[in-house]
Structure 1
Amino acid sequence: MTHNKTLKQIAIVGGGLSGVTTAYFLARAGFEVAVLERRANVAEEATFGNSGLLAPSVVQPLILPAITRTAFSNLFKNEPPILVKSGFNPSRWRWVRKSRREYQDYFSLNKQRLTRLSAYGQMLALHLQEQYALEEENSQGLLHLFRNPADAERCAGIENSLRQFELPRQQLKGQDAIREVEPAFQSVTTIAGAMYYPKDAAGNCVLFVKQLRAIAQSIGVQFHFSQSVKAVRPELGGRVSIDVAGADGDSTLTVDGVVLAAGLQNLPLLKPLGLSLPLCPVQSYNAMAAVKNLDEAPNTALFDETYRVAIARVGNRIRVSGLLGFLPRTELPHPKAITSLLKVANDYYPNAANFNTANFWSSTFALQPSGMPLVGGTTQGNIFVNTGHGAHGWAAAVGAGKLLADAMAGRETEIDSDGLLVSSVAG
């Protein structure tokens, strides 16, 4: 990655998890930073759909080996783990084919890289919570459950490749063993396998981002809300002009560098520069329900491998989030997504809450075919990207923000950045 050591003033497009964490770490590195966000506050789009997992052990690139077959069969299921609109969409299926190739060729390597990044990001996030005495809604420990033997066997193979990270884990055999680590678990659902990760955690990602925004402001970061970025234009002399539309009219901001951390909104900003990102919009779905029975509410986080759904206690509420939706963007989840979320919640904690009366919503994430985040520079030397962390990418996004800030400052990164920072995104 090429470092431009003349960068002083940095604008960040996007006030979500990636944008705010990058802003904080850049300010700590001595940059003047301004964040441009089209909403009225931070964490109101993709970040609002983050599952809240701080879980390096369970994180993996969000790609599936048989997604085409699985998606087709799901058209006829009432409780599918993947939702796909019927009909042929050439760009979507090109992305799916690339995803399948990435799985076949690079999944194990990418899993190791993502675990390295997430373990680093979890450490940073927990350190920030402790350093600034942030309000927490964290839970400790994570159950990783497998409904079918094939998933259990596949993940067992992955586990063996992760011993280098020294992440503690325990194989659980049978419901009694599960209840020893999670007494509230009262499921009668057939489980083919289970792992327990005592160092993984879950919490309130939105609350974390909002508190980190206040800290970033206290060290000089400026936040400009209701500001929609319309264009990013490299200028002579190595600076960048940013055309912004706001409530008070249009304006232009000129800075030394730009970090694009706005998910899918990055695409139209890069296109006029001859740059493209291999991103696909993918929906994730969420439910939030008030705890009804404290004794039967989860104390640890839970991750269902088949549905890729996380369940976590958030204060006096329970959050259920995940699934994959290759559907047109909507504010409310597809009815089948709601049915699937309810199935997973009721399968594991049927008496913890009245999940049928939960609040439901959907969020849209930008994902690469590899399932890896896209972080680093572009062929325009002072334009950078930080995107593609997915619904379970809290830890990875924090780690990526620190890696990018260090790279932009010309510092040696604290962990091996191989495979985590791209040297340049080309068209």
Structure 2
Amino acid sequence: MNSTHRQIAVIGGGLSGICTAYFLAAKGYEVAVIERRAHVAEEATFGNSGLLAPGAAMPLTLPGAFATFACRFKEEPRVLLASGADFVRNRWMRHTRQAQQQRFAANKLRLTRLSAYGQELTLQLQAHHGMEHENSNGVFHLFRLPAEAARMPQMQEAAQQSELRFKALDTAAIRQLEPAFSSEAALAGALHYPDDIAGNAVLFAKQMRNAAQALGVAFHFGANVKAIQPEFGGRVALEIESPHLAGRMMVDGVVLAAGMQTTELLRAHDTPVPLRALQSWSALVPIKNPDDAPNMALFDDSYKVAMTRLGNRLRITGLLGFVPPSQTIPPKALRNLLKIAGDYYPNAANYNQAHFWANTIPVLPSGLPLFGPTRHGNVFVNVGHGVTGWAAAVASARVLADMVAGEEPELDPAGFTPRDLAAG
């Protein structure tokens, strides 16, 4: 370890920031989390799908620019787009398509291994700290379109290499495992992962904050970091707007787990991070017929929508959009979320009583998270886990803490680091 008394600032109070702070504090670092909101887990983490699922973990890539552009004119688009030309957006989407076509198998294997490590760590943390949870076992990964189902062999290969249990199913077999499943939904393929888990990621994040505080982590809310500046002598200066903190904080190192703000803070240091802000929408609906409600989670690959049961509630999360953040949720998003849930579980819930919310999630063209040191040796990043990235966020936090401490991580970070991103 470099030193048990080094001071580390973590910018961002979402799941990745909280877990990074926890693992650093467990190694003896003095850690402060700086969060611009009033509480933890109020941005991307709040919109997490609740999947703790290495088998169903997918690099979040989207259709190519022209295919997605056509979705704008459909009543049930797979991706929502703002009107007007956006050449930066189209270029970014072409990069996602290239990643899907050229590197999907390798990226899927990397993400599966990372998520399996994160699932193991999460279960250990829940047991060690006696955390409350709403975990359920088993996840169905469904494919509506043949082009998406064509990737199933690569996904099965990743599961085999990661020693995950899985089984390919048809609709009748799904119904045997999940009697509430509607056989009316047309599918091109499906995989079942019995050891994948679904739960409440926000509840976990809040309990991890308590665990981090017990290790001495300080949380500063309502504090906005305006700039970071590596200084001579190996320290980093933070310029902060806050009614509670001084305007300048000096630390030995900083971890940027601040979503899109990460890009802004690094831009001044000629360190490009090609994150793109996507909108994701969620709904929480009360279950009306428990026998018609699912017991296992489901992930619809075509619409990037997850459904998880949390007690007497059904949570529907996903559906992405290249639209400006807004408190007003697009009507198409509202209809699509409920339509997708109704395709599979039409009699499960009072869908007309749904509560909706929107989140902004930062995503890289590869669809993979990014963590590790930047070219400034004491400035680190941990971002881009996506709406299904609970397990990956926990794993990346642990691996990053090992890297900060100069220790050999238990999991190889190759493919996830800023150095890998720069190499293309």
TM-score of the superposed pair, with normalisation by structure 2: 0.96
- 1:324 aligns with 320
- Structure 1 distance, partners of 2:322, 2:248, is 36
| Equivalent residue in structure 2 for 1:29, among 21, 27, 52 | 27
Give the distance between the partners of 2:2 and 2:74, measured in 1 at CA. 52
2:136 corresponds to: 139
What secondary structure, in the 3-state scheme, does the structure 1 residue paired with 2:151 have? helix
SS class of match (1:162): helix
In the alignment, the residues of structure 1 paired with residue 205 and residue 368 of structure 2 have an alpha-carbon distance, to the nearest angstrom, of: 21
Give the AA of the match of 1:264: M
Q: Confirm whether residue 420 of structure 1 aligns to residue 416 of structure 2.
A: yes
- Deviation of residue 152 (structure 1)? 1.8
Which residue of the partner structure matches residue 407 of structure 2? 411
CA contact (8 A) 2:4 2:28 kept: no
Q: Which amino acid aligns with 2:126?
A: Q
Aligned to 1:192: 188
Cα distance 1:145–1:408, how it changes in 2: closer, same or farther (>3 A)?
same
1:393 to 389, 402, 421: 389
Checking the alignment, whether the CA contact within 8 Å between 1:310 and 1:322 is kept in structure 2 is yes
Residue identity in the other structure for 1:179: R
The one of 31, 36, 39 aligned to 2:37: 39
Q: Contact conserved, 2:4 with 2:29, CA < 8 A, in 1?
A: no
Displacement of 1:345: 0.7
Report if the CA contact (8 A) 2:105-2:154 is conserved. no
Amino acid at match of 1:48: F
Q: Which moved more, 1:239-248 or 1:54-63?
A: 239-248
| Secondary structure at 1:420 match in 2 | coil
Match of 1:203 in 2: 199
SS in 2 for 1:273: coil
1:281-296 matches, cutoff 5 A: 281-296=277-292
Task: State the distance in 1 between where 2:48 and 2:387 align.
Answer: 5
* 1:112/1:249 CA distance change after superposition, 3 Å: closer
Give the alignment partner of residue 125 of structure 2, picking from 119, 124, 128.
Answer: 128
Change beyond 3 A, Cα 1:222–1:161: closer
How far residue 115 of structure 1 moved from its aligned partner, in angstroms, is 0.6
8 Å CA contact 2:4, 2:27 repeated in 1 = no
Distance change >3 Å, CA 362–CA 36, structure 1 → 2: same
Establish whether residue 381 from structure 1 lines up as the match of residue 377 from structure 2: yes
The one-letter code sitting in structure 2 at the alignment partner of 1:397 is: A
Amino acid at match of 1:80: P
CA offsets, 1:9-29, max 9 Å, x none? Answer: 100000001100100011111
Aligned residues: 423
2:237 is matched with which residue?
241
1:347 CA drift (Å): 0.7
Residue 171 to residue 11, structure 1, CA distance change in 2 (3 Å) = same
Instruction: State the 1:69 CA deviation.
Output: 2.9
Q: Secondary structure at the match of 1:258?
A: strand
398 and 332 in structure 1: CA distance in 2 versus 1, 3 angstrom threshold: farther
In structure 1, the residue corresponding to 2:333 is in which secondary structure?
A: helix
Choose from 90, 96, 101 the match for 1:93.
Answer: 90
1:50 corresponding residue in structure 2? 48
Unpaired runs of at least 5, structure 1: none
Using the TM superposition, give the Cα deviation of residue 250 of structure 1 relative to its aligned residue in structure 2, in angstroms. Answer: 5.2
Q: What SS class does the counterpart of residue 308 from structure 2 fall into?
A: strand
Superposed displacement of residue 160, structure 1: 2.8
TM-superposed CA distance for 1:383, in Å, is 0.6
2:77 maps to 1:80: yes
What is the match of residue 20 of structure 1? 18
1:214-272 CA deviation, whole Å, 9 max, x = no partner?
A: 01000110001111111111122111111111134752111100000000011221122
Aligned residue for 1:307, secondary structure, equals coil
Query: Which residue of 2 is the match for residue 362 of structure 1?
Result: 358
2:105 to 100, 104, 108: 108
Counterpart-to-counterpart distance in 2, 1:415 and 1:250: 38
Matches within 5 A, 1:142-157: 142-157=139-154
> Larger deviation: 317-326 or 327-336?
327-336
Say yes or no: does 1:230 pair with 2:230. Answer: no
Cα deviation 1:279-304 (Å, max 9, x = unaligned)? 11111110011111111111100011
Rounded to whole Å, the distance in 2 between the matches of 1:306 and 1:343 is 13
- The question of 1:62 aligning with 2:60 is answered yes
* Secondary structure of 1:108's aligned partner: helix
* Equivalent runs, 1:168-187 vs 2, <5 Å: 168-175=165-172, 177-187=173-183
Alignment of 1:322-361 (within 5 A): 322-361=318-357
Residue 315 (1) aligns with residue 315 (2):
no
| One-letter amino acid matched to 2:232 | L
1:31/1:425 Cα in 2 relative to 1: closer, same or farther (>3 Å)?
farther
SS at match of 2:373: strand
Give the CA deviation at 1:123.
0.6
CA-to-partner distance for each residue in 1:32-77, whole Å, 9 max, x for gaps? 100000111100011100001001111111113x422331221111
* Distance across 1 between alignment mates of 2:419 and 2:8: 19
1:231–1:269 contact (8 Å) kept in structure 2: yes
Q: Which moved more, 1:391-400 or 1:124-133?
A: 124-133
Task: Summarize the Cα distance change of 1:420–1:272 in structure 2 as closer, same or farther, 3 Å threshold.
Answer: closer
Identity of paired residues, percent? 53
Partner of residue 160, structure 1: 157
* Code of the aligned partner of 1:369: P
Is the 1:377–1:424 Cα contact (8 Å) retained in structure 2?
no
**Hey, what does 2:8 align to over in structure 1?**
10
| Backbone CA RMSD of aligned residues | 1.8
Corresponding letter in the other structure for 2:118: G
